Structure 1
Amino acid sequence: MTCQKTRHNFTKIAFKPLYTNLFNIVLLSIFLSVGSSKLYSQDIIKKTKAIPAKEQIDSKISNVKTDSTVIAITKTENDSIKKDSLRPKKTFLNGKVKYKADQYAKIDQKKKLITLYDKAELYYQDVELKAGIIIMDYEKNEVYAGRIRDSTGAFTQNPNFKQGANVIEPDSIRFNFKTKKALVWNSRSEQGEFKIKAAITKKENDSVYFLKGARFTTAKDIDNPEYYFQTNKVKFIPGKKVVTGFTNMVIANVPTPIALPFAFFPMSKETSISGIILPSYNDSNNRGFSLQNLGYYFALSDNYDLTVLGDYYTNGSYGMRFESSYAKRYSFNGNLNVRFENLINSERGYPDYSKQNIYNIQWSHSKDSRSSPNSNFSASVNLGSSKYFQQSINQVNIGSNLNNTLSSSVSYSKNFNSIPQVRMSLTATHSQNTQTEEINMTLPTLQLSMDRIYPFVGKDGTKKGFIKNINLQYNLNARNSITTTDSLFFKPQMFRDAKIGFQHSIPLSTNFKLFKYFSASTAMNYEEIWYTKTIERSFDQDQSRVVDKTINGFDAFRTYSVSSSLGTTIYGTFNFGDEKKIQSIRHVMRPSVSYGYTPSFEKYYDTYEADATGAMRKQYSRFENGIFGAPGLNNSNILGFDLSNTFEAKVTDKDSTKMEPKKIMLLNNLNLSTSYNLDADGVNSLAFSPVRISGGTQLLDNKMNVNFGATLDPYAIDNSGNRINLFNINNGGSLFRMTSSNMTVNYSLSSTGKDKPEKEKNVQSQRNGGREDDLFGTNTDLGDSRRTQFEDENEEEGEDKISEFFKSELPWDITFAYSLTYGNNNRENEIIGNSIMISANADVTPKWKVGVSTGYDFVQNGVTFTQLRFERDLLSWRMDFNWSPFGANANWGFFVGIKSGVLSDIKWDKRSTINR
């Protein structure tokens, strides 16, 4: 019930002539008495029915010990006594107040106070307040909140003040609901990656705060941070910026000489903001002093950004890099990196002076299939100077250095929902040999294919038998091929040397069962090749050599071929008994015989004079230099043999509770293949081709992959190393002569038994053309020094984790690779390659991670590339040291800096440069 303040009413008395009537005398006396005293009146408030407390309790605070009370302003009705002109004071509350407390909730209507004690909570408008004690003065429009002492005398239950999206955790707070102003003592708040603590905070309004005695940090523990920025005067605008006076950096509670007369900290609510990227200082013997990775980050929109970075050396060398990422939800995503470097060695006039330009372009794009199911566009581009990764001043990537090929592919494909369905793809490819600097490109390749048509299938749609399985297709392969070098890349001559060709093919095939156990297939293929250029070959008397003259114009040739195959599957099981450790071995063989015939197309061949006398004449085809080659001059009548094998075993399971035996794979595959030329004349032709053997298996719970292969030649060789038409066994040798063999072993083992997560793989190295693993060390991109090897840091830190130090399982992983190659093609009988490589990573403590990549070449008798890696997790900071102690690529690098992206420019990055 609310009460209205009493007011004073004075009654005026008018005197009349007195009569000697007793009644009148008594009545007059009463009026005189009343007229000399004060009369009070009070409005009678209409009683309203009380609202049950439980109906007003918010769902978030349903479990309470003290009943919640709702305070609301109700309109009162006056009694019959007329009020004066003075209006009552209007109560400030404009809505419902919800509150609760564990020990008690006290309402003092006379003082207009609500007192909540122990785990107190108050909800009013957009304010949520939790504290040990809360006092609300609803006459002054203010609320007070603070801590309380526990049984030991320590302060507990710090206030938690939330208004809208802003949260403050102070020691105590005083807030005015009407003016929105507040005074906060020892406030703690988070703004993006920053954590802020201030001795006194004055909230001017919803958008401006003034702080005194403040510290800013990205550390997890705001009360005991590893580092912070100390300042006394601060103007703080949540979600936008912080402007401070004199600011000093403090590390481990020790003030450092790093100080600024004023400071500006951006605190945008956006995921990223534009800003300057500070450089790192370095020096080089060949190029002088340098500033590396000076640049600017442009947050262009929510869908794409741009980073511009540059390096400058005092001898004139410089580098520029443009990196952009883009994405559109449910549509596509990708990134583009463009790198250019102008490299100058030594000084002009010195004998070792050199100057060159190198560049590299990387583009990755992928499309979400949900945006358009019938079409797709993708790109994976890595092209540039062949020596970029060997000579770059801002890349240390040994895996990329040892890779001999750069490749790219950009493709667009679309399915046309016609009958029959048609598929089209348009692809541009690029392949570059970094050793020979030769570049092969297709700009573009058009492929068009039509679904199989079964002209003899019945109305029921079944495709059984020789006739009903007959089907045909149509395929088109149109290609514009370019072969050039680094020096001619994208110059006019590159396009003049382009070769254009169209390949049309119509395959006709069928398959059927033969004698129940054999699968047979037969096919006929018709091809038509179109060229826009052909050649004319002749002997040039002036140059005394054979020359080819290019003939521009349309020309074509047509070929056909037939083929067939017959295969079956044979199963064999060898049982040893259920009581044996190896209960049985299962052998599966899949032999097949194939036959292919292509006739001679001699009509497309001409003759030319091979010498100046004209007596020697040779045949050639005007289509020889075409993309798809020339038609065959001789018959091809080949009979092929293939045999594939798999071996698996059933063994008794080590787990005695399991009744069924365990299946293990002994050999995933063991393949043998060879062929015989039926048209070989037996005198000058070698009818049998070498036998190729290949196989592989997995051991140690599928952690070790073993692959091997060998080539066996049935023919002997002469003293010059040439194959002769004489079987090796008839020449005093064995049945087969092993010309080459190889074996590779790869083994990966980790403490978790799982593969490395994607973020720990050498993704950038693989994109550059190197390896995904770290057998050749990790990729070091000097533009991104904050990359860490530690797991996600959302894990709980502090005393609980430190106390489990000796109980923790420290993760580790090992990658092992062994390669052996044997050569005996010309009776050299030697080991061509024999090397072992090992990479290991381990956490020696929960905060220390070490790694090593090394190996040994037993042929060259030397240690392969070696890298030592050390990393220290310093909570808010990261320390990293990489060292390649010897070799042509010997280098070292040290980095220490703040992990947070907002303060990523606070770092010390020192690295040696590779003299290239």
Structure 2
Amino acid sequence: MHLNYKNNYKKFLRRIYLTFAGILIAIPFIINAVATPAPNAGGRFNKSFTDTVPKPDTKPVVPDTNKLPQKEAPVSTEEPKATEEGFPDENTGTDSLDLPKVSKDSLEAPITYKAKDSIVLLVPDKRFYFYGTANTKYQKTTLNAERMTYNQATGIMEATTATDTAGKPYGRPQLEDNGQAFDSDTLRVNIATHRAKIIHTRSQYGEGFVLSEQTKREPDNSIFGYKNGYTTCNLDTPHFQFRANKIKVIPDKLVISGPANLEIEGVPTPLFIPFAIFPITHGQQSGILVPSYIVNAQKGMGLQNGGYYIGLGDNFDMTLRGEIYSYGSWQLMASPTYRKRYHYNGGFTLSIANTRFGDPAVKSEFTKSRDFRFTWNHSMDSKARPGITFGANVNFGTAKFNTYNVFDYASRVTNTLSSSINFSKTWQGKPFNFTSSLSHSQNLTTRDVNIAFPSATFTMNTIYPFQPKEVIGKAKWYHKLGIGYNGTLNNSVTFKDSVFGKSKMFDALQSGVKHSLPISFSIPVFKNFTLSPGVSYSEYWFTKKTIRTWNPGKRVSIDSLGGIDTTYESGFYTARQASASISLSTAVYGMYQFSKTSKIKAIRHVMRPTISMSYQPDLAKDAYYYLQYNREGETLRQSYFLSSSVGVPSDGRAGSISFGLDNNLEMKVFSKKDTSANHEKKIKLLDGFGINTSYNLLADSFKLAPFSIYARTNLFDKLNITASGSIDPYEVNSRGRRLDNYVWNTGKLSLGRLTNASIAMSTSFQSQDKKAKDKEQQINNIENEQSTDAAFQAQQRQLEQVRRNPGEYVDFDIPWKLDLSYSMTYSKQILVDSGGVVNTFNQYLSFNGDFSLTPKWKIGVTSGYNFNEQKLAYTNMYISRDLHCWQMSINLVPIGTYRQFSITISPKSGILRDLRINRSRTFYDL
């Protein structure tokens, strides 16, 4: 090798060695960069934390390495080793030279970084310059900006915004550190100590945003701001904010400010506060629930929904609320909730209310009522204990509680309360099932209460004792012979709510047990028919006999004498019932084809007739007697166990032939939307239409049973229709009593008299919702969370708020919607307590809808019309205005016992819910 070439080669190696030695001394972290050579530029980085920032659009001049001060390399007898991993990648990489010693001021972890344009390294000055969408990561700190500079001597990373040729800024620094996010114009952060100074920053804490001209962050992550604004509006220029010179943020706890002024649309308002504390809601936080002001015409001025929330950990919490009025009315409410993930969740609500209307000195105008309401709901995760389920939905209280204390539409138009508690167990691999329950129903109008407890049922599903495990050859008829068992225990009582807990309530308590043993099997005959013989036996046990007798001297009203007395006899009574039956069923299909040019392709009719014969001996004749129910001496056959909790066996012997016919009607039409070759679409005209009756060959009179008819359909997937009725084929006299003579024998072309009927129709229309899929996904997520945590309780409270204030919870994504439903019921029957035939006919139409006047204004109404009373039902009207981060609503209840007017302006954010402005007036017509 040539001598000069060798000398140049040694100088080249020496220069490389000096360069890498400088990097080892100057840079204690691994380089992982995407870089290309940058053009020469001038500029220097200030070494002080508070020095001015160099111009972000200028690049430093890379000094000539020949003019750098020469440093002697450390003495070594070995040639410097350069592995493939020791050289930085041309674009993105990490220097990983093995260091014999680690500097005392080295960082705890590597820094990875990259830049889209270029990275410039000044080794003697220990500085890095990043250009073009720069990104650096160190432990839990991530910084993104268009321009960044790092000074290794001070450990300060500085990020600035760049400007384009039009002078528009872009590439604002974005800092994320330990879950905190900052958006700013200029940012300086000490990588090692995590102290930072941020200019013109915007950061989010929970539901709130803090905008500051200058911000300092301490190593403990606390924030100090100068010239700040706090808002829950997510716009760069918020609609409103609280302006304060000084502010402090304690992460995950509080935002605290000194004197603050409310500013709306950039205009200061006269509203000043001496200080402000805004909680940063992360998880469970105990605290005060600020009440809202209300004016009630009967109760006076008051404060409502104030109280305290107590967080008791991940499994428990409690909400205490109350309201008080100037005229002496008050209400207290306690709502504890509990949960265990993947096991169960539930909660209680106990409300006690004391209502005072009018002047106590004037008794005719004074009303006082003390009421209560108790609710409990519990749900169990199905995976917690396979085979066992437990759930509860309890809701009971006094009849007047809704009248004085509940104002939402759904509760005002509902006059019943119901409860249920259920437990069930199934044995895997075995045919046994066990269920037990407590149920309660309460009519708030008639004040009748029915409670069934305890109720239990043990069931053995049908088993086939003669069927072998492996059938060889053709199955025998007795292989299909099945036997089952059903045992029921039930205790029930019906009483007026005024006698709750008194002797009259326990006198009416009925207890009973029923055992049922069905035996059945099915045999296919004549190819398309199924023959099903069966035998059943039922045993009834009772603990109380109810005896009702006519008392001619009993005064039931001022102008009427005579009534029915009821007495009870305790003991052990039995009754039984047995029957044998055989049935034959099939299905008949009919098709009518239209011409090829017709849009209607075909109509298919399916009929499913069933005929059966049964025999029932008279085993329960001692359980029945004749009851006189009026002064004319007319009687009615009635059971001693009419109020039995497990039912009563049928009276008399029977040899009946029963007939039933079910129909289904479908149509095929031409459809362009069908992508198949047929271009057909199925439309259901009738989901079901049928008639059932029976004829008792052994009865002395009235052998033909009433005809039971029904129909159901869903036309065009829009109109749901269900109807049912009962037709009595016998005539009646002038008092409504049945005569043993068919209606058609009198020359009338009719099956009989309509004794009861009902029809219900409902439909819904709405414009297209562009966000329907996203909302459906959110609902599914909520439903999934409800089985594992407290989300169910939160949703229940939210639904209650929606019902109370529908104008504050409207969907502006749907321009209009309309829900309609109509119901009609008719009945004509003999009621022994009234002394004759009673006809009832009810019609009701309900409607609910809203429409948007503009994308931000919406008007809605929920109401109904009672045809019997010929007047509107409870009506709720509302107007809503979307103000982006605020919402205004006007609610009006114009008619009815309870009337109200209210106007509310409130922030959408839950953290500022106490800032709502509410003005309301409430009136009662007692």
TM-score range for the pair, normalised by the shorter chain length: 0.7 to 0.9
Query: Paired residue for 1:307?
Result: 319
Amino acid at match of 2:543: T
* More relative contact order, 1 or 2 (CA 8 Å, 6+ apart): 2
Query: Paired residue for 1:363?
Result: 376
Q: Secondary structure at the match of 2:521?
A: strand
Q: 1:567 to 1:89 in 2, by over 3 A?
A: closer
User: Highest CA radius of gyration, 1 or 2?
Assistant: 1
Amino acid at match of 1:896: I
Q: Give matches, 1:42-191, under 5 Å.
A: 43-44=74-75, 48-49=80-81, 70=95, 74-75=99-100, 92-191=106-205
Query: Paired residue for 1:653?
Result: 671
- How far apart are residue 94 of structure 1 and its match? 5.0
Q: Secondary structure at the match of 1:913?
A: strand
Query: Paired residue for 2:342?
Result: 330
Query: Paired residue for 2:426?
Result: 415
Contact 1:786 1:878 in 2 (8 A): no
State whether structure 2 residue 712 is matched by structure 1 residue 699: no
Determine which of 618, 628, 634 is the counterpart of 2:646. 628
Q: Give matches, 1:669-748, under 5 Å.
A: 669-681=688-700, 685-700=701-716, 702-739=717-754, 741-748=757-764
Worse-superposed segment, 338-347 or 297-306: 297-306
Query: Paired residue for 1:403?
Result: 414
Q: 1:255 to 1:451 in 2, by over 3 A?
A: same
Structure 1 spans left out of the alignment, 5+ residues: 7-38, 58-64, 77-87, 764-777, 792-808
- How far apart are residue 819 of structure 1 and its match? 3.9
Q: 1:564 to 1:435 in 2, by over 3 A?
A: farther
Aligned equivalents of 1:591 and 1:491: distance in 2?
A: 53
Contact 1:786 1:899 in 2 (8 A): no
- How far apart are residue 545 of structure 1 and its match? 10
Amino acid at match of 1:472: I
Aligned equivalents of 1:431 and 1:266: distance in 2?
A: 43
- How far apart are residue 480 of structure 1 and its match? 1.9
Contact 1:118 1:148 in 2 (8 A): no
- How far apart are residue 448 of structure 1 and its match? 0.7
Q: Give matches, 1:141-540, under 5 Å.
A: 141-221=155-235, 223-268=236-281, 270-350=282-362, 351-389=364-402, 391-393=403-405, 395-417=406-428, 420-460=430-470, 464=475, 466-491=477-502, 494-495=505-506, 497-534=508-545
- How far apart are residue 487 of structure 1 and its match? 1.9
Q: 1:884 to 1:574 in 2, by over 3 A?
A: same
Query: Paired residue for 1:592?
Result: 610
CA deviations on 1:86-111 (whole Å, 9 max, x unpaired) are xx996545543333333332222222
Contact 1:66 1:102 in 2 (8 A): no
- How far apart are residue 346 of structure 1 and its match? 0.9
Contact 1:54 1:68 in 2 (8 A): no
Q: Secondary structure at the match of 1:396?
A: coil
Q: Secondary structure at the match of 2:410?
A: helix
Aligned equivalents of 1:887 and 1:621: distance in 2?
A: 43
The total of aligned residue pairs comes to: 821
State whether structure 2 residue 765 is matched by structure 1 residue 752: no
CA deviations on 1:771-811 (whole Å, 9 max, x unpaired) are xxxxxxx97668778962237xxxxxxxxxxxxxxxxx854
Query: Paired residue for 2:3?
Result: none
- How far apart are residue 427 of structure 1 and its match? 0.5
Query: Paired residue for 1:83?
Result: none
Q: 1:5 to 1:871 in 2, by over 3 A?
A: closer
Contact 2:462 2:483 in 1 (8 A): yes
TM-score, scaled relative to structure 2: 0.80
Structure 2 spans left out of the alignment, 5+ residues: 1-19, 26-69, 555-561, 783-798, 831-836
Amino acid at match of 2:486: N
Determine which of 859, 867, 883 is the counterpart of 1:874. 883
Q: 1:263 to 1:653 in 2, by over 3 A?
A: closer
TM-score, scaled relative to structure 1: 0.81
Worse-superposed segment, 142-151 or 424-433: 142-151
State whether structure 2 residue 822 is matched by structure 1 residue 818: yes
Aligned equivalents of 2:345 and 2:730: distance in 1?
A: 56
Worse-superposed segment, 325-334 or 459-468: 459-468
Aligned equivalents of 2:501 and 2:618: distance in 1?
A: 40
Determine which of 663, 667, 671 is the counterpart of 2:686. 667
Q: 1:238 to 1:492 in 2, by over 3 A?
A: farther
CA-based RMSD of the aligned residues comes to 4.0
Determine which of 802, 807, 810 is the counterpart of 1:789. 810
Q: 1:759 to 1:399 in 2, by over 3 A?
A: farther
Contact 1:810 1:844 in 2 (8 A): no
Query: Paired residue for 1:773?
Result: none
Q: 1:406 to 1:321 in 2, by over 3 A?
A: same
Amino acid at match of 1:513: P
Query: Paired residue for 1:559?
Result: 577
Contact 2:321 2:334 in 1 (8 A): yes
Contact 2:356 2:367 in 1 (8 A): yes
Determine which of 885, 894, 908 is the counterpart of 1:885. 894
Aligned equivalents of 2:181 and 2:597: distance in 1?
A: 70
Contact 1:898 1:906 in 2 (8 A): yes
Amino acid at match of 1:129: L
Q: Secondary structure at the match of 2:498?
A: helix
Report the identity percentage: 30
- How far apart are residue 861 of structure 1 and its match? 4.2
- How far apart are residue 907 of structure 1 and its match? 0.7
Aligned equivalents of 2:345 and 2:88: distance in 1?
A: 49
CA deviations on 1:368-411 (whole Å, 9 max, x unpaired) are 1111111000112221123332x133x22333333332211101
Amino acid at match of 2:520: S
Q: Secondary structure at the match of 1:890?
A: strand
Aligned equivalents of 2:24 and 2:621: distance in 1?
A: 122
Aligned equivalents of 2:661 and 2:426: distance in 1?
A: 37
- How far apart are residue 749 of structure 1 and its match? 1.8
- How far apart are residue 345 of structure 1 and its match? 1.0
Amino acid at match of 1:674: T
- How far apart are residue 352 of structure 1 and its match? 1.3
Q: 1:742 to 1:105 in 2, by over 3 A?
A: same
